[in-house]
Chains A and B, each alone.
Chain A
Amino acid sequence: MNRHERTVPEPETFDPRMVSGLLRVACTPPRRPVDHLIDRLQQPDGPTWFASALSSGVVARAGQPAALLIDGEADPAMLDLLKDRAKAAFGKAADGDARLRGLLHYLFVIAAGLDHHATLLSSQPRGEISAVLLELALVLPTPWNDFVAEAAMTRSRSD
């Protein structure tokens, strides 16, 4: 028995709340836009696609993505502007590829807001944003994975 191991509870000890929670874990939630992005990044040419998407989206048009986002050169006002542009790029995309690119930039901008300014730029619930960022971080290359994962864990001023 390792240091954490527990004995298996009897059925009666699986109270309704626990059962309901575990059933929820087993459910396949409706697919979110980020699920498509994660699928795209996991394809064999995912790294190539990522490099291309990063260098051709709204953030790249404003400067070096790594400098603006990871190094924190973009101030809150700039991030807010980039967020609106990424959101528009996502919403008005002509095809699925452009839509995913818009989403990637949108989430990176949100992550930068949390990492460097402790600000949640999205109106989505914080819990949902954290979950999305964490899942995205798992399929990103270095150093973007740590950048996004750190944002998922960072408290914003409104938390």
Chain B
Amino acid sequence: MSAMSAGNENQDVFPNTMGTWIHQRLGEGSTGREVVNEHVMSVYAHPLRVYFLGSSFRSLGEPEDMVAGFFASRLERDGYFDQWRDSGIRLRRWLMNGFLFFLKEEIRRQHRDGSAAADDDLEIPMNESPDADFDRAWAQSMVREAWIEAARRCEADGLGDHWQLFIRHHVDGLAYKDLVGEFDVTPSQAAVMVRTATVRFKQAVRDRVQIDGVPEDEVDNELRRLMEMTS
């Protein structure tokens, strides 16, 4: 958890188990809770919106409002993440289940208000594989957040060009020799610079997968599973 736990000296209460990073942050009080909430919202809001839009719940309101309402109702609850850790499931699944309950509560609330949609089959998801869609959207969001983290770390370490080389090589698909003119480096230097940025990106991704509750020795399997789902 190097990237996301920088500066934290707290003892690891639950080493190599899910929830370590989150529970360390929560142990830091309100500041730590803000960090956790920010992480959860930045990585999980997008997949929850995708899930909402793919379900028949979508007539309940705007996806942004529903997801924001869900976070507001759950993330400040004491013990919410303890319950997740005790459940033994991935955080993304825990949040999706919680979101489902929240939406059902919202239906009841709208019924009471007389503003509910008339659909009888409101709770039947419309997509054939909402879980797969959710996982794909989670991977998309998680990779983007890792991208932001790695870019920020490279910039902070004075490695801005390293990060741009990473993008040109891994995203744009340029060979090292094709980067020579653009960055005024030799192919060997380009390889070293890309490798340096790759270390940061790789760690950022793996941190987020572990925070989701994947044990360290299963991270590669999880990444391969996500690759199969997204490709």
Contacts and interface: CB of A to CB of B under 8 A. Distances in A.
A138 to B, nearest CB: 6
Interface residues of A, number: 32
A23 B161 contact: no
B56 interface: no
B230 A23 contact: yes
A134 B186 CA distance: 12
Dominant secondary structure at the B interface: helix
A21 B169 CA distance: 11
A45 interface: no
Contacts, number: 97
A21 B188 contact: no
Which of A5, A17, A135 is the most central at the interface, judged by chain B CB atoms within 10 Å of its CB?
A: A5
A16 interface: yes
A25 B198 CA distance: 7
B214 to A, nearest CB: 12
Given A2-B160, A2-B164, A21 B171 contact: yes
Q: Which 7 A-B pairs have the closest CB atoms?
A: A26-B205, A4-B164, A20-B231, A149-B188, A20-B230, A23-B227, A11-B46
Given A5-B160, A23-B139, A134-B188, 20 more contacts: A4-B183, A8-B147, A9-B147, A11-B46, A11-B140, A12-B140, A14-B144, A14-B147, A18-B171, A19-B230, A21-B170, A22-B143, A23-B143, A25-B170, A27-B220, A134-B187, A137-B188, A138-B192, A149-B187, A152-B187
